Structures are given as structure tokens and as C-alpha cells.
Amino acid sequence: MVLGTYKEIVSARATDKQIQKVAQDGGIVTGLLAFALEEKIIEGAVVAGPSEKFWKPEPMVAMSADEIIAAAGTKYTFSPNVMMLKKAVRQYGIEKLGTVAIPCQTMGIRKMQSYPFGVRFLADKIKLLIGIYCMENFPYASLETFISEKMGVSMEMVEKMDIGKGKFWVHTQDEVLSIPLKETHGYEQSGCNICLDYVAELGDLSTGSVGSPDGWSTVITRTDGGDSIFKQAVEAGAFETKDIANVKPGLDLLQKLSAQKKEKNQKTIDKRKEMGLPVPF
């Protein structure tokens, strides 16, 4: 199954105007974590918060909607969120935890839940794991290369970054710049090149931009827990939804990109095996 196991796929966006303003796409992650916090489904969430350096995220434990909103927007470099889960439980005393994770991070979390060798009393405290689609990720210095060197813009001028329609986009206050995605190849971390998961197949639910129009997200509900929390949020009016069959570009594009990622990276896996290099899957 090219999109993993799921219950339902819809196009959705948060109804909260404040979230719409700061969100990368439909504000699903921000809106759902804020909703879960308000409904006491979770007591806090590990998110990719800001750091001292522009566009370099740092994992943080958010305990209020404001802190969650402050972490909105995609940063195209590493935020090792998984490392903060233990801190959230031990040092912040959170018993019901939410988090957002890219596919490889969901794998670290799910493996720990099935096989918690050294990680005690954490597996059952993760109540909501929102996965986000991910084609690849970049070291921070790669972003500097694209933005400072190739586009000639300093990092602090950037207001939004986006990958879509074959280009890497940067929005500043005055202009929108882009470079073809081809020019970013070879700058991604190489660990991404054996990843077979595009749409966060192990999240309670997963979300991303592909398939839905600008300002909207494609939401895939997967586990019973993820499905019920999302439905609760929709019922409470936190999100408006559209049938994915009625939106453009829709599921076809999502399936196409997922299949492409799997196919391309399977080739890398096969090549590695030929060379005698280890591959975990």
C-alpha cells in the first residue's frame, strides 16, 4: 500500500484565523495539538520550536496553545524531537503527551513503544503522534547554501520556506524567490535516501500539503486513537474538511509522489546491499 494503512483521507484546514495566519498549510498539526491540549487529551506536546538561529529549530515542550502556535511552520532541517520525549515526561511531569514527527522519527518512537529496552514508563504516555509527510531533510548548512549562496538572501530575511511544484521557495517581506529542486539534490542528508516512508505511515494520523490546494492539508487518519481525536476536533469545529475526491490535485499526486520515493530509495537500498553496507529494512 503506497499510502500505508489508513481509515480515511480528507482535505482539511484549521478554522482558527490566528492558526491560518502562521501555518505552513492547513494548520492541522498546530490546530490538532492545541485542540488536544484544550480537551485535556494531552497535557503537553513536543514540537519543533524556535532557537537562537533563524530557521534552525529546537525541540521544545509546549504546554500552552501559544507555545504550540509559536512552533508553527515547516523548517527544512533537523529537529530531533524524539530526544525531548523523555524530558517531557520526567522533567515536565507530563502524563499524556502529544508530539509531531517526520516518518523516521515516528519509527524511533514506535520501535521504542514495541521494544522499550532502556526507556521506562514512556511508551504508554504518548497519546497523540501526528506524522508529517517528508520527502527528504537537509542539514542546516545546506539551507544556508540554497538561501544565502544561491539566492543571495540572508536567513533572517526569510519569512517562509516551501517545497512544491518542483521548486524550493523562499518568501521574504518583499519577494518570492525559488531555485529548481534539481539544485538541491546532493544536499539532502544521505540517511534519507533509504527511507521508504513518505506519508508517515506509523502516525496516529498524518498530514501534509500534497494533494490539497494552498492553505489546505491532506489528512490521513490511521489508528483508532488518531481517527477519533481528529473526528472529535472536526465535530467541535476546529477544522473544516472537504472530500479528497473533490479537490485538486487530490490523491493521485500523493500516491504518485509516495510511489516515486519508495521506488527511488529501494534502488539505493539494493545498491547498498550489493556493496555490503548494512540496511535496517
Residues forming contacts to other proteins in the complex (CB under 8 A) are 4-5, 59, 77-78, 80-86, 101, 104-105, 107-124, 137, 139-141, 189-195, 201-202, 222-224, 277-278, 280-281
Q: Which is nearer to other proteins, 23 or 107 (CB)?
A: 107
Q: Do residues 27 and 19 make contact, with C-beta atoms less than 8 angstroms apart?
A: yes
Q: Considering the complex, what minimum distance in angstroms separates the CB of residue 175 from other proteins?
A: 29
Q: Considering the complex, what minimum distance in angstroms separates the CB of residue 194 from other proteins?
A: 7
CA angle 148, 30, 35 (to 5 degrees): 170
Q: Considering the complex, what minimum distance in angstroms separates the CB of residue 53 from other proteins?
A: 11
Q: Which is nearer to other proteins, 8 or 240 (CB)?
A: 8
Give every strand in the sheet of 160-164, ordered side by side: 160-164, 167-171, 176-180
Q: Which is nearer to other proteins, 82 or 244 (CB)?
A: 82
Q: Considering the complex, what minimum distance in angstroms separates the CB of residue 278 from other proteins?
A: 6
Q: Considering the complex, what minimum distance in angstroms separates the CB of residue 103 from other proteins?
A: 9
Q: Which is nearer to other proteins, 18 or 51 (CB)?
A: 51
At 14 the three-state DSSP class reads strand
Q: Considering the complex, what minimum distance in angstroms separates the CB of residue 184 from other proteins?
A: 17
Q: Which is nearer to other proteins, 117 or 174 (CB)?
A: 117
Instruction: Tell me how far apart the terminal alpha carbons of the chain are, to the nearest angstrom.
Output: 16
C-alpha pair distances (Å), 87 with each of 60, 68, 92: 10, 17, 7
Give every strand in the sheet of 126-132, ordered side by side: 58-62, 44-49, 97-101, 126-132, 205-208, 217-221, 8-14, 239-243
CA distance 61 to 100: 11
Q: Considering the complex, what minimum distance in angstroms separates the CB of residue 143 from other proteins?
A: 12
Nearest to residue 208, comparing CAs of 132, 113, 97? Answer: 132
CA distance 28 to 281: 30
Q: Considering the complex, what minimum distance in angstroms separates the CB of residue 27 from other proteins?
A: 24
Q: Which is nearer to other proteins, 159 or 224 (CB)?
A: 224
Grid coordinates belonging to 111: 520501535
Q: Which is nearer to other proteins, 21 or 90 (CB)?
A: 90
Category of 40 on φ-ψ map: left (φ > 0), alpha (ψ -120 to 50) or beta: left
Task: Based on DSSP, count helices (H) and strands (E) in the chain, helices before strands.
Answer: 8, 11
Q: Which is nearer to other proteins, 138 or 216 (CB)?
A: 138
User: What residue has cell string 495566519?
Assistant: 21
At 50 the three-state DSSP class reads coil
